Structure 1
Amino acid sequence: MANSSIMILNIVIFLLLISQGYSFCTLKNLTVTQVKTGVIVKNKPEWSVSVTNTCPPPCVQRSVILKCPGFQTVEPVLPSALVVSPMGTCLFNGGGPIAAHAVVSFKYAWDSALPLSPVSGLITCS
């Protein structure tokens, strides 16, 4: 009887935590979208990149690294938005936090959309 009561209590606590947003949050909860803005910069189309954290509150993702092989732009990108490394990766958002359901964006200009995808980051749900 005591064991079944403890088991039921554990299940109830687990379900309460899930309902409060403590469910799984992974790097797959970061989505990257790119769209043309319609602006031309030095004869190249401008692209707006948005990274969305689809994790439930209170989960925050920070120190996000994007795979960005061969990233190029004729339009300056602030280092607080994107820092390109020679290793084909980029530090996004200055390593700062991306809150649950938040969108962080930057723009660049190049002939075509460049491949950008999350490869690592730190997740905290507190």
Structure 2
Amino acid sequence: MANSTKILIIVLFLVLIFQGNGTCLPSDISVRQAQTGIMVKGKSEWSVTVINKCECGQKNVILSCPGFQTVEYIDLLVLTPSIGTGYCLIKPGQIIYKDVVNFKYAWDYSFSFNPISSQSTCS
């Protein structure tokens, strides 16, 4: 009886470890960017890829983007910079599952996009 209880506890512990606690964190958001080699209005174009690495969806994903500027059109349904705050919202009002969000911008140099806030949609 004691051995079966120990085994059950070990199995439950392993399930919790591999399942996680059902909460996604901003650190589960990966942001990568690279120059495309294209010039837009005399500025270098940069391609940005945002990936949610968590099993659950995340919404209201906010990136720090201090001083962000671009001469290239950005779909505000993909990236919404908040003027003067240094924050950018990814896909406002939408849940980002294990999908990839891409956008491009053009400026003299790359900007840093660091995940700082998100809301997990796990129950």
TM-score (norm 2): 0.83
Q: Does 1:94 align with 2:92?
A: yes
Alpha-carbon RMSD:
2.0
Q: Does 1:35 align with 2:34?
A: yes
Unaligned runs of 5+ in 2: none
Structure 2: distance between partners of 1:77 and 1:114: 15
Distance change in 2, residues 1:95/1:65 (3 Å): farther
Q: What's the CA shift for 1:26?
A: 2.2
Structure 2: distance between partners of 1:10 and 1:109: 54
One-letter code aligned to 2:86: G
Structure 1 residues 112-123: aligned runs within 5 Å: 112-123=109-120
Q: What's the CA shift for 1:120?
A: 0.0
Q: Does 1:46 align with 2:45?
A: yes
Runs of 4+ aligned structure 1 residues displaced above 6 Å come to none
Unaligned runs of 5+ in 1: none
One-letter code aligned to 1:89: Y
Q: Percent identity over the alignment?
A: 50
User: Equivalent of 2:70, from 66, 73, 95?
Assistant: 73
Q: What's the CA shift for 1:10?
A: 4.0
TM-score (norm 1): 0.82
| Correspondence for 1:125 | 122
